[in-house]
Amino acid sequence: MGTLVFMDSITHEILIWKHIQTERVDDYKYLLVELLNLGYTILSVTIDGKRGVNSVFKDYPVQMCHFHQKRIIQRYITLHPKLEASQELKKIMTRLKYSDENRFTKALDIWYIKYKSFLDEITIHPDSQKSSYTHKKLVAAYRSIRNNLPYLFTYKNYKKLNLSNTTNLIEGGVFSPLKILIKIHRGLSKSLKLKIVDDYLVSYKKKE
């Protein structure tokens, strides 16, 4: 059980939320429609990388959260990668904030050309005779960056919109205190916990 929250990054106002069992693209669609029906105008959207969510907001400039992108890559290649290819990919990611779309794309292209044969290596599993990429986590890391590349520099391509390149405002400002509050009341029933969440979000909205 969780709560999906939409927040205005300019006014810091919590606009709308929905309690969910699992995070689904349809939940984002629902909240988007609700928000538009309430008369809001959407200038841009910053997302955390949930697969398929970018398509929900295809009519708006979409920014992928840099923090989440780095976390995704870290999950695949670890914090201290041993493979040379992984180490170089990590270096490219450390320059994300200081680069622009053209330079970052060029660096990624050069890396891919250099390690393409390495990435293409296949392992045959004797028991099943099935094959898989030998360095599948590294391949997954590369594909994640490549797939999200169109959304990594929106904040620089649309400077007038003053987009945030992370979701830290809601992660740290809203969710962190809320998680502490829920932990304090962890013995309560689900319905009471949801009421606590609702009360917190309503009061946060008024406070801001």
pLDDT at 158: 95
pTM: 0.88
pLDDT at 206: 60
The percent of residues above 70 in pLDDT, for the chain, comes to 98
Asked if 133 and 117 count as a contact pair (C-beta separation under 8 A), the reply is no
pLDDT at 93: 98
pLDDT at 1: 75
Mean per-residue pLDDT of the chain: 93
Q: State mean pLDDT over 150-169.
A: 94
pLDDT at residue 186 above 80?
A: no
pLDDT at residue 207 above 80?
A: no
